[in-house]
Each structure stands twice: as C-alpha cells, then as structure tokens.
Amino acid sequence: MTNPILVDRLDHIVLTVNDIERTMHFYEQTLGMKRESFVGSEGQPRHALRFGDQKINLHDSTTETPTKAHEPTSGFADFCLIAAVSLKQVIANLKATQVPIEAGPVSRQGAMGALRSVYFRDPDRNLIEVAEYVDG
C-alpha cells in the first residue's frame, strides 16, 4: 500500500548566511530576486528573497527564532531553481555580474523531466543550480 502524498510544493527554504545584506545583493544582481523585510512572529526583523510564488528566508548568527535548523551552518545548501528566462540569458547575466560558473550547461533530471543546468556558488559557497526544462 502506498501512502498518499501529503504535500504539494515548497513554499520557502531558509539559508543561514554570514552577511544578510551581501547575500540579498548577490541574489538581486545575479537572479533578479526581490528583497523583502518583515517582522517575524518573535517581533524580530527578518529578511527574505522573493521570486515567483516562493522565497528564500535568510538567517544569520544573530537571528532569534525558536524554529531554525538544529545546527545552522552557512555554505551547507545545494538547491535547484528553474529559470524564468532561457538558460542562455542566465549564463549571460552570471558572466555580466562576474559570477563564475562551476559546471554547465549539463544535462540533469528534474522533478518533471530532463533539465539543462548551470551551477555556481553564492557568497557563502552554497551550490546553486539554475535549470531549464528540455522539451521532448
């Protein structure tokens, strides 16, 4: 017997970073994400990067919240984002912002089929994959 799927999609992820401002600037410049600041449920200022219907929340060593990773560590993440534009445009922007590409374009398998991907690192050395689905 197979258990029913109880979740639909990701809403957000949380990155632990060394410098929230530097991280927000990087993601704004390289991927066009929009910064968002808000007051958390604990009354503390919080920061996030919004793209589409998702966001990346940011914590640093001073972030006070009872709901965070057991051992928050910067540079520990490895995740894939689907491009809203052609991968060619993503690569051009990475070059324009002087972000080195570590791998790619390479073929990968995503949640919904074949991908073409590039890999690079953010200021905390998290591995970021940006991909486009390949037709057919």
- List the catalytic residues: 129
DSSP state of 88: H
Q: Are 41 and 85 in contact (CB under 8 A)?
A: no
Taking alpha carbons only, the member of 118, 62, 125, 74 closest to residue 92 is: 118
**Largest Cα–Cα distance of the chain, in whole Å?**
52
**Distance (Å, rounded) from C-alpha 89 to C-alpha 65?**
38
Query: Strand 103-110's sheet: what is its strand order?
Result: 78-82, 127-133, 113-121, 103-110
Residue 94, Cβ neighbours under 10 Å: how many? 19
How far is Cα of residue 70 from the mean position of the Cα atoms in its chain? 20
